[in-house]
Chains A and B, each alone.
Chain A
Amino acid sequence: MTRTDLELIRGTFDLILLKTLSWGPMHGLGIFRWIEQQTHGQLQVEEGALYPALHRLEQRGFLRAEWGTTENNRRAKYYRLTPAGRRQLGAEVSRWSRYTAAIGMILSAEGV
């Protein structure tokens, strides 16, 4: 692998999707673009992988999907965060912070 893209750490995709949608309803492509923009294209993920992940979050009741129209007047499926999804996001964020803090402590530890 010669690219410098970051592979997704398992379990973080849900967090990313929930966080992205916390800015407002988006369709799948919109979500993708948003992520790409925020990370300057550093995250390496197949675009199609987005959809099973979204549908699973919908199944778990964290997202709600509705059909709507884009600015170009095309029909697209919009996802938005449910209250349960918002709660889940809070929990995942705090979990992630603790995780990175813990990893950080290990990496920054000095030999005894």
Chain B
Amino acid sequence: MRDDHAEPGQSASRARTAHEPRRAFQLPSARSRLNSEIEAEFRFHFDERVDQFVAQGMTRDLAEREVAQRFGDYESYLQRAREIDTATLRQRSRAGLARTLQRELRRAVRVLWRDRGFTIAAFVTLVLGLGATTAIFTVLDAVVLRALPYRDAHALVSVMHPATVPGSGERTWGLSPGGYFGFRTMSQSLADMAMYSASGFTVTNNEQADVAPVGRVTASLFSVLQAQPAFGRLILPADDRPGAPPVAVLSYEFFTRRFGGDERIIGQNLETDIGNFEIVGVAEPGLALPVPGPFSSASNLSGLSVDVWTPLQLDEAGPFYNNHPFVGVGRLKHDVTVHDAQQEFAALFPRMTEQLPDVYSPGFLKQYNFRVNVSSLRDAVLGPTVPRVLWMLFGAVVLVLCIAAANVGNLFLLRFEARRRESAIRSALGAHRAHMAVHYLAETLVLCVAAALAGLGFAVIALRALLAIAPANIPRLSEVSLSTRSALVSLVVAVLLALVLGLLPLLRRGLDTGTLRDGGRGLSASKRQRAARQTLVVAQLALTLVLLSGAGLMWRSFDTLREVDTGFDAHGVLTFELSLPFSRYDTREKAAVFYQELQQRLTSLPGIAAVGAGRVPLEDFGTGCSVVFREGRPYDVNEQTPCVATPIAVPGYFEALGIAVDGRAPDWTDVSARSQAVVVTRALADRLWPGEDPIGRGIGSNGSNATQWYRVVGVIPSLRAEAVDVPPTEAVFYAATALRANLRGGDLNDLSVFVRTTSADPYLHLPAIREVLREIDAQIPMSRPRPLTDVVARSMSRTSFILTLLGVAAAIALILSAVGTYGVISYLVSQRRTEIGVRLALGATAAQVVRMIVAQSAKLALLGIVIGLAAALAGTQLMTSLLYGVKASDTAVLLSGTALLLSVVLLASWVPARRASQVDPGQAMREH
């Protein structure tokens, strides 16, 4: 206790003695003592003054009055002095606490630095565990936990129609205009309801052509989303009536990007290839369309953002059709739950369909099991798989963190053991347990917080790597970056971990006299600790096996997926999207002429084998279907009506994709002659005409009694066009102009072009292709050029993403387990040095010693494996829906995981065993 640190008002008699430990906190009585001391000080002044005046001859009474007058307002000065001292006290105790903290932390850093080996092992372990957890938590938080970016987003619901499509299974359809008007009029549970679809057009203002994603929406969407304009106004109900003048609202981003943020654009025309729109306003920044899962790949939207908002202008009077292209959203009234709304819509559903008998026939309702579903918009956007995958991965990294913590806990126990003599002496000498706890806590705190900070750096790098390999269809993933929130969570976890680790040694009670008596050999009382350590090792081996099994299953799935024959050959194919302006390509004939010229010019280039256009397999299929009928053979009542994809295949499509056509594919002669030739997939042909030759058969979508039929001229082998892990697609491919007449033009204006090249890297041909395109029509924007192999890889990205993450988690777990086993076995060996020395002296061979020790660790490993296998069998069941071509309980996977773990554990224990067998018997025995 240095003298110059005396506290204010510390009475001399209470001055602290040198051996008393320094206090970080003032005693609770400090405040009352402070009061009495100020009063004593004042009183002294007062009394002395009075005595002085009395000595000068005043009466005591008069003297007191005189002094009181000269002194001023006694109470007020007392109060002011008291306030100052209270503040001083607070300041000093804070400074004292800071000093204590600083001293403890400095000491902790010194101690940790002295034990560098231990510190580095514990630090690296914790960085891996904390960093991985932070990275995955960040993704989970951004994608799953956070609310959608709308005001009061929790009250938003999606309204969709689930249907069991014969031949294709469960599908989610959007709303039909008829259904929308029906529900919107009748519903009491929703404050309002809206719907929209995503499309696109080419904006041509200032002689510059840009493809703009467009949200075609009902005016009510903005009130449902509670969106605000940044400038001007949003779309009003009056704009949304059929025949109203066309208006457009720009997204804030498009407004700044394309028009330089110039407000004068409001009131001007937005010139597009489908006509002019009056720009009436700009939406608030960041406003995006919420896109429920099944529609996210259907739209041409890059993510969720659109550049332009236009009114749908649907006619409430109909006519209505059985088509469901619109995403329905609603806002719940106050105090109404999603469940209530679902109940109401289910009850309204029969009334809605009865009002539209021409649209929803009883046969259709029954055959398609057509129904309505209201669910929280967030759940609908996320879909069921993504949250499950992310929670699973989060579970995996939490397991890794547990393993890391167990390892570090083990290291701390070992270290505590080594310091037991020191601590036993200190506590025997009267050191407080609390004091020792502060020491340990300071050490674990420094270690854990440093690891958490380094872990944040690790997480930033890991996140960058994660985003690079993540599947494109995880919503909101692009928004992921390390947030304050996840950094905070990471620090909180680190501090909790530090508390647990720091208090671990305190579990011991009372004076450790045993240690003192043993002369510090630490032989007694270590049985319980040894058991604790071995339990930790067994637990981490079990957890590692769970992760290894999960990673193994994903690897098998990925491997199986890669072997799947998609039915097309993506190698050497370049694909890109074109958007032909409606102003000049307003008929299919004009568009067809363009594609024919493009094909001729491109195929004359060296290195280009074939060119075609149509939909992109694995991306554009499986998002909608049309019912097809066959000529001359109506479906039985019990037979399910097929609803299949009906894509366009511009001549050259099959050739460019490397799909062999049995029969023939329609060519340019079919196009110009408007022939009715179509190509069907083998899967559809087998269903419609089982065991027969489909060539020449009639097929159509105008009912069984149609007078005109398309003719099947070719059949293609099974084609996996929806997804690699979905059974072969049923589809009818129409030639360019042979389309149903009731569709508006436009089907040919936005297509993907496929260019089959003879090079391994099709990108090499991109400049030449651009040049040709410019020569034909410089006004046509080309977008998203990419090799078709990328499309295939992306369709498997969910599996590869999970595989990579689980694989990394399992690898980290395996390393940590090896380190943990190594640590414990090394310790056990060091405990048994004397015994081993005796054995060697008595003639045991080195090999026998090694075997003995490895056998001991094998016992631990086997126990861990048994528990781990049970846990893996239970845990991998959760993954069933993510697997392809492998069962969750796959024996080969479990066995290879077990074998890998066992060999790593044995190797990790062989090293210390080997060292033990080389001890010098004489020296080992002399040590004790």
Which A residues contact B (CB, under 8 angstroms)? Answer: 27-29, 32, 46-49, 51-52, 55-56, 58-59, 64-68, 74-77
CB neighbours (8 Å) of A27 from chain B are 44
Q: Which of B8-16, B188-196, B318-326, B903-911 contacts A (4 or more CB under 8 A)?
A: B8-16
B6→A46 contact, CB < 8 A: no
A75→B44 contact, CB < 8 A: yes
Out of A51, A55, A59, which one reaches B91, CB within 8 Å? A59
Q: Which of B34-42, B468-476, B502-510 contacts A (4 or more CB under 8 A)?
A: B34-42
A55→B88 contact, CB < 8 A: yes
A59→B87 contact, CB < 8 A: yes
Name the distance in Å between A22's Cβ and chain B's nearest Cβ.
Answer: 19
CB neighbours (8 Å) of A46 from chain B are 70-73
* Chain A residue nearest in CB terms to B37: A77
B12→A67 contact, CB < 8 A: yes
CB neighbours (8 Å) of A58 from chain B are 8, 88
Q: Which 6 A-B pairs have the closest CB atoms?
A: A46-B72, A48-B77, A48-B72, A52-B80, A59-B88, A55-B84
B84→A56 contact, CB < 8 A: yes
In the assembly, what is the distance between CA of A51 and CA of B38, in Å?
9
In the assembly, what is the distance between CA of A25 and CA of B899, in Å?
82
CB neighbours (8 Å) of A59 from chain B are 84-85, 87-88, 91
CB neighbours (8 Å) of A76 from chain B are 41, 44
- A52 and B77 in contact (CB under 8 A), knowing A28-B45, A58-B8, A74-B44? yes
CB neighbours (8 Å) of B80 from chain A are 51-52
Out of B38, B72, B81, which one reaches A47, CB within 8 Å? B72
In the assembly, what is the distance between CA of A68 and CA of B44, in Å?
12
In the assembly, what is the distance between CA of A29 and CA of B70, in Å?
13
Query: What are 12 A-B pairs at a CB distance below 8 A?
Result: A46-B72, A47-B71, A47-B72, A49-B72, A56-B84, A59-B84, A59-B87, A64-B4, A65-B8, A66-B6, A76-B41, A76-B44
In the assembly, what is the distance between CA of A54 and CA of B566, in Å?
90
A48→B41 contact, CB < 8 A: no
B44→A29 contact, CB < 8 A: yes
Known: A59-B85, A65-B9, A77-B40. 17 other contacts (CB 8 A): A28-B44, A29-B44, A48-B77, A49-B72, A49-B77, A51-B38, A51-B42, A51-B81, A55-B85, A56-B84, A58-B88, A59-B84, A59-B87, A64-B6, A65-B8, A68-B12, A74-B48
CB neighbours (8 Å) of A64 from chain B are 4, 6
* Chain A residue nearest in CB terms to B77: A48
User: Interface SS of chain B: helix, strand, loop or mixed?
Assistant: helix
A48→B44 contact, CB < 8 A: no
Residue of A28, A46, A55, A65 with highest tally of chain B CB at under 10 A: A55
B9→A48 contact, CB < 8 A: no
CB neighbours (8 Å) of A77 from chain B are 37, 40-41, 44
B81→A55 contact, CB < 8 A: yes
Q: Interface code B20-64, partner A: CB below 8 Å = 1, 0 otherwise? A: 000000000000000001101110110111000000000000000
CB neighbours (8 Å) of A47 from chain B are 45, 49, 70-72
In the assembly, what is the distance between CA of A51 and CA of B603, in Å?
100
In the complex, whether B74 has a CB less than 8 A from a CB of chain A is yes
CB neighbours (8 Å) of A28 from chain B are 41, 44-45
CB neighbours (8 Å) of B74 from chain A are 48
Name the distance in Å between B423's Cβ and chain A's nearest Cβ.
Answer: 38
Name the distance in Å between A73's Cβ and chain B's nearest Cβ.
Answer: 12
In the assembly, what is the distance between CA of A64 and CA of B77, in Å?
20
CB neighbours (8 Å) of A56 from chain B are 84
Interface residue ranges of B59-115 to A (CB < 8 Å): 70-74, 76-77, 80-81, 84-85, 87-88, 91
A48→B71 contact, CB < 8 A: yes
**How many of chain B's residues touch chain A, expressed as a range?**
20 to 34
* Chain A residue nearest in CB terms to B75: A48
CB neighbours (8 Å) of A67 from chain B are 11-12
In the assembly, what is the distance between CA of A52 and CA of B6, in Å?
20
CB neighbours (8 Å) of B70 from chain A are 46-47
In the assembly, what is the distance between CA of A75 and CA of B39, in Å?
12
Q: Interface code B160-177, partner A: CB below 8 Å = 1, 0 otherwise? A: 000000000000000000
A29→B8 contact, CB < 8 A: no
CB neighbours (8 Å) of A29 from chain B are 44-45, 48-49
In the assembly, what is the distance between CA of A74 and CA of B76, in Å?
25
Name the distance in Å between A41's Cβ and chain B's nearest Cβ.
Answer: 11
In the assembly, what is the distance between CA of A66 and CA of B5, in Å?
12
CB neighbours (8 Å) of B87 from chain A are 59
Name the distance in Å between B393's Cβ and chain A's nearest Cβ.
Answer: 56
B72→A51 contact, CB < 8 A: no
CB neighbours (8 Å) of B42 from chain A are 48, 51
In the assembly, what is the distance between CA of A55 and CA of B84, in Å?
7
Name the distance in Å between B233's Cβ and chain A's nearest Cβ.
Answer: 60
CB neighbours (8 Å) of B9 from chain A are 65
Name the distance in Å between A74's Cβ and chain B's nearest Cβ.
Answer: 6
Out of A32, A49, A51, which one reaches B41, CB within 8 Å? A51
In the assembly, what is the distance between CA of A46 and CA of B9, in Å?
24
A51→B77 contact, CB < 8 A: yes
* Chain A residue nearest in CB terms to B84: A55
In the assembly, what is the distance between CA of A26 and CA of B342, in Å?
85
* Chain B residue nearest in CB terms to A29: B45
CB neighbours (8 Å) of A32 from chain B are 45
CB neighbours (8 Å) of B41 from chain A are 28, 51, 76-77
In the assembly, what is the distance between CA of A49 and CA of B78, in Å?
10
Out of A49, A52, A66, which one reaches B12, CB within 8 Å? A66
CB neighbours (8 Å) of A68 from chain B are 12
* Chain A residue nearest in CB terms to B11: A67
* Chain A residue nearest in CB terms to B51: A72
In the assembly, what is the distance between CA of A77 and CA of B8, in Å?
10
In the assembly, what is the distance between CA of A75 and CA of B45, in Å?
11
CB neighbours (8 Å) of B72 from chain A are 46-49
CB neighbours (8 Å) of A51 from chain B are 38, 41-42, 45, 77, 80-81
Name the distance in Å between A61's Cβ and chain B's nearest Cβ.
Answer: 10
B91→A52 contact, CB < 8 A: no
* Chain A residue nearest in CB terms to B76: A48
Name the distance in Å between A46's Cβ and chain B's nearest Cβ.
Answer: 3
In the assembly, what is the distance between CA of A65 and CA of B40, in Å?
14
CB neighbours (8 Å) of B47 from chain A are 74
In the assembly, what is the distance between CA of A75 and CA of B42, in Å?
11
* Chain B residue nearest in CB terms to A83: B4
In the assembly, what is the distance between CA of A66 and CA of B71, in Å?
22
In the assembly, what is the distance between CA of A50 and CA of B42, in Å?
10
Name the distance in Å between A14's Cβ and chain B's nearest Cβ.
Answer: 13
Residue of A27, A64, A65, A74 with highest tally of chain B CB at under 10 A: A65
CB neighbours (8 Å) of A49 from chain B are 72, 77
In the assembly, what is the distance between CA of A49 and CA of B48, in Å?
17
* Chain A residue nearest in CB terms to B47: A74
In the assembly, what is the distance between CA of A77 and CA of B41, in Å?
6
Name the distance in Å between A85's Cβ and chain B's nearest Cβ.
Answer: 13
* Chain B residue nearest in CB terms to A56: B84
In the assembly, what is the distance between CA of A2 and CA of B77, in Å?
26
In the assembly, what is the distance between CA of A29 and CA of B40, in Å?
13
* Chain B residue nearest in CB terms to A32: B45
CB neighbours (8 Å) of B8 from chain A are 58, 65
In the assembly, what is the distance between CA of A85 and CA of B324, in Å?
84
In the assembly, what is the distance between CA of A56 and CA of B319, in Å?
87
In the assembly, what is the distance between CA of A77 and CA of B6, in Å?
14
Name the distance in Å between B50's Cβ and chain A's nearest Cβ.
Answer: 11
Name the distance in Å between A55's Cβ and chain B's nearest Cβ.
Answer: 4
In the assembly, what is the distance between CA of A56 and CA of B80, in Å?
10
* Chain B residue nearest in CB terms to A59: B88
A48→B84 contact, CB < 8 A: no
Name the distance in Å between A76's Cβ and chain B's nearest Cβ.
Answer: 5
In the assembly, what is the distance between CA of A77 and CA of B38, in Å?
9
Name the distance in Å between A52's Cβ and chain B's nearest Cβ.
Answer: 4
In the assembly, what is the distance between CA of A49 and CA of B40, in Å?
16
* Chain A residue nearest in CB terms to B12: A67
In the assembly, what is the distance between CA of A48 and CA of B548, in Å?
79
